Amino acid sequence: MVNDVIEAVAALRDRERLGAMISVIDGPDVGSAVVVDCEDGAVTDAPAWLSEDILADARDLMDREESRALMYGDRRVFIDVVAPSPVMLVFGAGHIAQPLSLMARELGFRVVVADARGAWATEERFPHADQLIVAWPEQAFKEVTPDRRTFVVLLSHDMRFEEPVFRELHGKPIRYLGAMGSRRTHKLRVERLKGEGWTDDEIAAIHGPIGLDLKGRAPAETAVAILAEIIQVRYGAGTASPLRGTDVAIH
């Protein structure tokens, strides 16, 4: 039984699947465990105590990449989420993209940088990127398929980049879409997208102008502001306000 659970967790990691190991840590059946795949359900024998309530909470925690111990009657159950590396897809290999790719890699993202300018998208400039795509967005999307674990960062508002990116992402269940540009640029973007059939909710999900207001100016400081917003979206919590003077949980 223990070996089955260990092998199932290893298989989730090897196949880069989102899942969880659910274990009873107190009460009846203590020590019993099951491994579930977010999409396929239980991948080891499902015990009698595995209720729909537990599975529903597990799916919610998997979506937020959060592990937690919860009580179900007289059982205390620990839901330990196993999550593959999320993908950060960066369009535009400019100066902000360099520190962004470095820091995103440190945060556990698989970083893909795409730019049609071969002089910019080079291994020398992006040694920390997992993948460099020297191509226009249409070609880049043939190599990377966006899904619910994809975070898209558009650092160029050149229409040759922007239009195909938004066209490809419309209706896709990605986790984050942030777009560089001034408030005026974003207002014009919104007007254009409405004309292309984007709903108010879809437009509201776009983070533009991108990032949190940290008042940074240097490329690395802008990258920090973008990553701070992405972290907040990734875990679906946090106020982005100072912790000083509050009683909320710390880190």
Tell me the pLDDT tens digit for each residue of 202-242. Answer: 999 999 999 999 998 899 999 999 999 999 998 877 777 77
- Mean pLDDT, the chain, whole residue set: 92
CB 154 within 8 A of CB 167: no
Tally Cβ neighbours within 10 Å of residue 52. 7
- Average pLDDT of span 42-53: 91
Percent of the chain with pLDDT over 70: 98
pLDDT for the residue numbered 250? 66
Geometric angle at alpha carbon 61, from 153 and 228, rounded to 5°: 30
Model pLDDT for residues 1-20, shown as the tens digit of each residue? 677 899 999 999 988 899 99
Structural domains of the chain, with CATH: 2-82 (no CATH), 87-235 (3.40.50.720)
Residue whose C-alpha is closest to residue 236's, from 80, 36, 62, 87: 62
Give pTM, 2 decimals. Answer: 0.82
Q: How far apart are CA 49 and CA 51, in angstroms?
A: 6
The reported pLDDT for the residue numbered 186 is 93
Name the nearest CA neighbour of 1 among 32, 43, 26: 32
